[in-house]
């Protein structure tokens, strides 16, 4: 450095960048492919963009979208609750609880979602009716399985049990990621197991639980399209019902894909802010959620022009 | 509370004893880590425990608040077993609620601070008083501010542990333990994880506590602190108390060759 300064002022030196020929070739090929795709999208009549526009906000498509969102939210909430319980059982000192939780995860995560879905839908083949009978009182009530197990209920049960298998592993990994010293310190302050779990372990585990849970939610949103097979009126089913009649298959699939991508985008943005919220103790200055959002948006504006 | 008097008579616990140990043993599997420890810490006094790593001093400290269960012997805090009740000559394990109540009276300060990393300093201090003792938020906060003031960190109330230096974190951890009004404070190598220039600020707080009459059991490598603040010094080696005595005397003139050798390394 010293020598360079004595020979010439640094600003007088020209830097010749290394030529990345491979990069240029790669870029050129990518641009050509991109051009071909765009041309196909624009000129191939099968895509039929006006029809896409016509159905994008079609009432039955919007109703299907609502059903898909309802399914996703209901299943995810149930899966988080069941998964957390299974994870806590998995970490329990009781061998039986531990083995039960392991078996649960092995089975419900291992068996394909589609098979579980069809199984629950056909539960009446195993159990015809549910009834509550008490000695000396007699049968209090009886319900036919087929009356309870509507396609929607079957979808919710099957997919929440399946999803809970994944959530249990995510929650377990999160709880394990919290240093054991935290539990010891809480214990030495006289906090009991439940209090420690609720106030100390789980909140810290959240930072490790939230990102994969976001991924799971996005995954689940798309997995719910499987319910089409048991005739739940979700987004894909709504589109299928239309193109079965009109044969406008490709435009309607584009409509469906558009809505899935739209919701996934919204979810990804939401996930980003939730992650920031749970990572706040990592940041240099203490920040409330409000301050953090403000900072996040300012950062976003700065990043855009570049 | 007849059990307290009964214990005192039965085990010959001296009056005014806060921590009393007789023949305390602890094994992990086949390895016996503590081979019969005797100790009496009178209320208001400071006992310093020194010794090479692996001598069992931290394990003994963790036995006092039942973070580890003892395998044998008698270990009483304020005249009572922490994890058990003595009835009809048998030790009954106490339920969780009672264990938590007794632990709340025994403060502990850890080598690695163990501040709750998702909470600010203030939140760390008010958590247990509110959740365990049912103190109101306003009261807990008032007390927390007073304690932060006492350890010289009132300006850092809203800082998260990661934003604090090691010395500051350990001072918050001491304040957190004090927030529960413990009868006794256990220190597990409180300055061992600190940069040398940060050790002093923690020792100042500990000395201040000792002078205010807090009963303390301190596992430490700080011989200077043991000499100036300790009322008794215990040298542990390989699971036994090798030597004990008045700190100044013992440091100046150790009797056991093991003690002499150890002190020559750390002084």
Residue B29 tokens, joined: 């599997």
Contact B117 A185 (CB under 8 A): no
Name residues whose C-beta falls within 8 Å of residue A37's C-beta, 6 or more positions apart in sequence: none
pLDDT confidence band for A291 (50 / 70 / 90):
low
Q: What is the pLDDT at residue B148? A: 96
Contact A184 B118 (CB under 8 A): no
Q: Is A62 helix (H, G, I), strand (E, B) or coil?
A: helix
Chain B (230-249) residues lying within 8 Å, Cβ to Cβ, of chain A: none
- Is the CB of B158 inside 8 Å of chain A's CB atoms? yes
Average pLDDT over residues A268-291: 69
| Mean model confidence pLDDT for chain B | 92
pLDDT confidence band for B259 (50 / 70 / 90):
very high
pTM, two decimal places? 0.77
- Is the CB of B165 inside 8 Å of chain A's CB atoms? no
Does A301 score more than 70 pLDDT?
no
Q: What is the pLDDT at residue A14? A: 84
pLDDT confidence band for A298 (50 / 70 / 90):
very low
User: Alpha-carbon distance B23 to A11, whole Å?
Assistant: 78
DSSP character string of B94-150: PPHHHHHHHHHTEEEE-TT----TTS-HHHHHHHHHHHTT---HHHHHHHHHHHHHH
User: Alpha-carbon distance B205 to B185, whole Å?
Assistant: 13
Alpha carbon separation from A52 to A57, A254, A260, B65, B173 (Å, rounded): 9, 7, 15, 70, 63
Contact B100 A203 (CB under 8 A): no
- Is the CB of B104 inside 8 Å of chain A's CB atoms? yes
From the DSSP assignment, how many helices (H) and strands (E) are in chain A?
A: 14, 2
Strand A129-134 and strand A138-144: the pairing is: antiparallel
- Look up the ipTM and state it: 0.90
Report percent pLDDT > 70 for chain A: 88
Residue B156 tokens, joined: 């850092």
Q: What is the pLDDT at residue B2? A: 54
- Nearest neighbour of A182 by CB, restricted to B96, B114, B159: B114
- Nearest neighbour of A204 by CB, restricted to B100, B117, B180: B117
Q: What is the pLDDT at residue B183? A: 95
User: Given CA atoms A98, A99, A102, A108 in this order, what sign does their dihedral have?
Assistant: negative
DSSP character string of B18-75: EEEEEEEEEEETTEEEEEEEEEEEETT-EEEEE--TTSSHHHHHHHHTTSS--SEEEE
pLDDT tens sequence across B224-238: 999 999 999 999 999
* Run of H or E including A139: strand A138-144
Report the candidate in B61, B54, B77 with the shortest Cα–Cα distance to residue B8: B77
Across A7-11, A227-231, B114-118, the highest mean pLDDT is recorded for B114-118
Give B256→chain A minimum CA distance, Å.
35
């Amino acid at each position: 450095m010293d020598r360079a300064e004595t020979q010439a002022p640094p600003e007088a030196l020209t830097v010749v960048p290394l030529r990345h020929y491979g990069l240029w070739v790669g870029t050129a090929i990518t641009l050509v492919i991109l051009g071909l795709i765009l041309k196909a999208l624009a000129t191939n009549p099968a895509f039929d963009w006006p029809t896409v526009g016509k159905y994008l906000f079609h009432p039955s498509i919007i109703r299907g979208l609502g059903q898909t969102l309802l399914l996703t939210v209901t299943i995810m909430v149930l899966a988080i609750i069941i998964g957390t319980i299974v994870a806590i059982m998995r970490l329990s000192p009781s061998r039986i609880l531990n083995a039960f939780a392991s078996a649960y995860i092995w089975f419900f995560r291992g068996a394909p979602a589609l098979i579980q879905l069809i199984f629950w839908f056909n539960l009446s083949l195993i159990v015809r009716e549910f009834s509550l009978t008490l000695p000396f009182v007699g049968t209090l009530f009886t319900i036919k399985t087929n009356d309870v197990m509507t396609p929607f209920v079957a979808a919710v049960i099957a997919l929440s049990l399946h999803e809970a298998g994944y959530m249990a592993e995510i929650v377990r990994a999160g709880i394990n990621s919290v240093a054991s010293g935290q539990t010891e310190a809480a214990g030495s302050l006289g906090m009991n197991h439940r209090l420690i779990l609720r106030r100390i372990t789980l909140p810290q585990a959240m930072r490790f639980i939230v990102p994969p849970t976001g991924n799971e939610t996005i995954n689940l949103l798309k997995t719910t399209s499987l319910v089409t097979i048991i005739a739940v009126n979700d987004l894909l089913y709504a589109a299928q019902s239309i193109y079965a009649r009109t044969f406008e298959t490709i435009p309607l699939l584009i409509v469906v894909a558009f809505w899935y991508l739209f919701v996934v985008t919204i979810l990804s943005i939401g996930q980003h802010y939730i992650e920031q919220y749970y990572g706040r103790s990592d940041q240099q200055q203490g920040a409330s959620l409000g301050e953090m959002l403000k900072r996040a948006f300012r950062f976003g504006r700065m990043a855009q022009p570049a | 509370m007849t059990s307290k008097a009964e214990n005192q008579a039965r085990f010959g616990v001296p009056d005014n004893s806060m921590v009393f140990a007789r023949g305390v043993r602890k094994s992990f599997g086949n390895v016996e880590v503590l081979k019969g420890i005797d100790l009496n810490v009178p209320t208001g006094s400071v006992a310093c425990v020194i010794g090479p790593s692996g001598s069992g001093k931290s394990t003994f400290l963790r036995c006092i608040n039942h973070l580890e269960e003892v395998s044998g012997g008698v270990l009483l805090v304020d005249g009572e077993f922490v994890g058990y009740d003595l009835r009809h000559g048998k030790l009954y394990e106490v339920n969780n609620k009672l264990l938590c109540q007794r632990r709340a009276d025994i403060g502990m300060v850890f080598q690695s601070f163990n501040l709750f990393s998702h909470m600010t300093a203030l939140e760390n201090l008010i958590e247990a008083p509110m959740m365990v003792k049912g103190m109101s938020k306003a009261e807990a906060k008032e007390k927390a501010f007073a304690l932060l003031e006492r350890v010289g960190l009132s300006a850092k109330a809203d800082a998260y542990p990661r934003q604090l230096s090691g010395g500051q974190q350990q001072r918050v951890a001491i304040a957190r333990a004090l927030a529960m009004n413990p009868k006794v404070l256990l220190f597990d190598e409180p300055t061992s994880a600190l940069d040398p220039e940060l050790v002093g600020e923690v020792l100042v707080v500990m000395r201040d506590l000792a002078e205010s009459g807090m009963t303390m059991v301190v596992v430490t490598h700080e011989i200077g602190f043991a000499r100036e603040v300790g009322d008794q010094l215990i040298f542990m080696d390989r699971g036994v108390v090798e030597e004990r005595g008045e700190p100044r005397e013992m440091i100046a003139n150790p009797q056991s060759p093991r003690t002499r050798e150890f002190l020559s390394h750390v002084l």
